């Protein structure tokens, strides 16, 4: 799960960098512009996923 979470964070970071340097990644990767997410939406999802992940890790450590 931590690996998938790190991939999610890196995806948001890559979208941020591509947007900052004005690289049109939507058309380079032939994505549908109607369904692509901005980096703020991706980071919001990552933060929510991280809260859930770390709360589950805390509960696992607390029980053991």
Domain residue limits, the chain: 2-63
For the segment 14-62, what is each residue's pLDDT rounded down to a tens digit? 999 999 999 999 999 999 999 999 999 999 999 999 999 999 999 999 9
Task: Give the pLDDT score at 19.
Answer: 96
Q: Is the pLDDT of residue 64 over 90?
A: no
Chain segment 3-26, per-residue pLDDT in tens: 999 999 999 999 999 999 999 999
SS3 for 9-51 is HHHHHHHHHHHHCCCCHHHHCCCCCCCCCCHHHHHHHHHHHHH
Give the global pTM: 0.89
């Amino acid at each position: 799960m931590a690996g998938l979470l790190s991939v999610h964070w890196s995806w948001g970071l890559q979208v941020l960098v591509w947007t900052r340097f004005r690289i049109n990644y939507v058309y380079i990767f032939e994505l549908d512009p109607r369904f692509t997410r901005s980096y703020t939406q991706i980071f919001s999802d990552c933060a929510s996923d991280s809260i859930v992940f770390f709360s589950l890790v805390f509960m696992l450590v607390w029980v053991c």
